[in-house]
Amino acid sequence: MKKRMLSILLVMVLAVSLLAGCGKKETSSNQEQQQQPQAPAEKTGKITIWAWDPNFNIAIMNEAKERYQKENPKVEFEIVEMAKADVEQKLHTMLQSGVKDGLPDIVLIEDYNAQKYLQSYPGAFADLTGKIDHSKFANYKVSLMTLDGKVYGVPFDSGVSGFFYRTDYLAQAGYKPEDLNNITWDKFIEIGKKVKAKTGKAMLGFGLDDGGLMRIMLQSAGQWYFDKDGNVTVANNEALKEAVATYKKIVDAGIIKKTSGWNEWVAAFNKGDTASVVTGVWIVGSVKAEASQSGKWAVAPTPKLNVSGSVNASNLGGSSWYVLENGKSKDIAIDFLNKIYAGDNDFYQKILVDRGAVGTYMPAQGGEAYSKEDAFFGNQKVYTDFSGWIGNIPAVNYGLYTYEADAAIMAVMPDVYSGKLTVDAALKKAEDQLKNQIGK
């Protein structure tokens, strides 16, 4: 009996030991599984993008798409090309109506219009603060997409401006490249008179009703048609007074070839009728379109106004990417922009070479493409220079109504040119018109 009881006890102890051993092995196995790194879930979805210009924005976005899809092959892209005016109209109409279906995940917005969208449609665009490292972009671009301390966009191309000039014409007038660095607009006019006298060529192609050059002058002085709070500052704006007076000086000096519209303006320098053009870097492709002029061009810093705080750096144009808050693929869209537009240095080298696109992502500007000599510009490292000027562009508040203000100013310019109105009287008239139009 004792032996039988002993045997039963031994069997029970053995069973308990075996069960305990099995439990330890299972726990160990579970722990091993938990310690193994989990592969990130593969991204899937469709990103819809609205933009304009097939040879610039659309082509560049297609390059970005291809790069992203190498690591995310299941992410689909629909890149919709429309005219700029159509993008703006469609976006305004849909946001105003409150319709969410049919909106894109990402949309391109011109910098001059950014605040109009952000302030008119609160909550429509995704807050990207902390999701994108905006410290790596040019400060003036980031400020344009910031509202109440939150940043809503991903900066894209710069409209950093330059003073493009024909070295052969300027040499005939007795000027060397170093004579053109960091000059004022008054000096520019003086140079233009000598160029006209020595070569018979106009210094500039000039549209009497084109406000682009005036915007360059204003931003170089750190001023705009509105103050930092968005209030209209036209009549009592010292930089604007100087800019309007400078427009008149340029016209009165007889150094311009009058042009109307883009084609005539570009033709003026392509045909060799003008000695220079002062505008954004995006004009490089048009300047280089006339291959026979290779080696005859160079670029100097933008002239500045005779007002306190003015610098030899400015901007004209430029756009940025915005993510819609209610987009079906918002998170993937943010990841895409972060990986490519806010992190891929090589991407920026390629779009500079292929499309002449100067990005505002500062780390990329130390790349090989940016430091390469350009034979067309006399082996000048033009993009190195433009990159340096980008960091000096004053940040300004474009407000909600840049184009409305532009139109009001240019409407009074004929009376300024003719002398019918003084600069002060013209700006007072323009301010009254603008305030009446926008209801302020």
List the domain boundaries for the chain: 45-159+317-367, 161-223+233-314
Q: Cβ–Cβ contacts within 10 Å for residue 235, how many? A: 18
Q: Distance between CA 370 and CA 160 in Å, rounded? A: 14
DSSP 183-198: -BHHHHHHHHHHHHHH
> In 238-340, which ranges are E strands?
256-258, 274-280, 297-300, 319-323
Calpha distance 213→224 (Å, rounded): 13
Place of tokens 């902390």: 130
| DSSP character at residue 258 | E
With residues binned 3-state (H G I as helix, E B as strand, rest as coil), the percentages for the chain, rounded to 5, are 50, 15, 30
CA angle 333, 137, 342 (to 5 degrees): 30
Instruction: Note the pTM of the prediction, 2 decimals.
Output: 0.85
**Per CATH, which fold does 45-159+317-367 belong to?**
D-Maltodextrin-Binding Protein; domain 2 (3.40.190)
The rounded distance, in Å, linking the Cα atoms of 173 and 196 is 8
CA distances from 257 to 157, 196, 250, 267, 307 (A): 30, 11, 11, 11, 27
Helices (H), 98-205: 114-120, 139-144, 167-172, 185-199
Measured N-to-C along each axis, helices 59-71 and 345-355 cross at an angle, to the nearest 10 degrees, of 150
pLDDT value at position 94? 96
3-state secondary structure of 26: helix
Q: What pLDDT sits at residue 440?
A: 73
pLDDT at 32: 47
**What is the second-level CATH architecture of the domain 161-223+233-314?**
3-Layer(aba) Sandwich (3.40)
**Bridge pairing between strands 45-51 and 256-258:** unpaired
CA-CA distance, 215 to 112, in Å (whole number)?
11
> Which residue in 319, 320, 317 sits closest to 280, CA to CA?
317
Per the listing, tokens 């233009």 go with: 192
Low-confidence ranges of the chain (pLDDT < 70): 1-40
Which positions ≥6 away from 5 have C-beta within 8 Å?
none
pLDDT, residue 439, reads 85
CA pseudo-torsion sign 169, 174, 178, 181: negative
SS3 79: strand
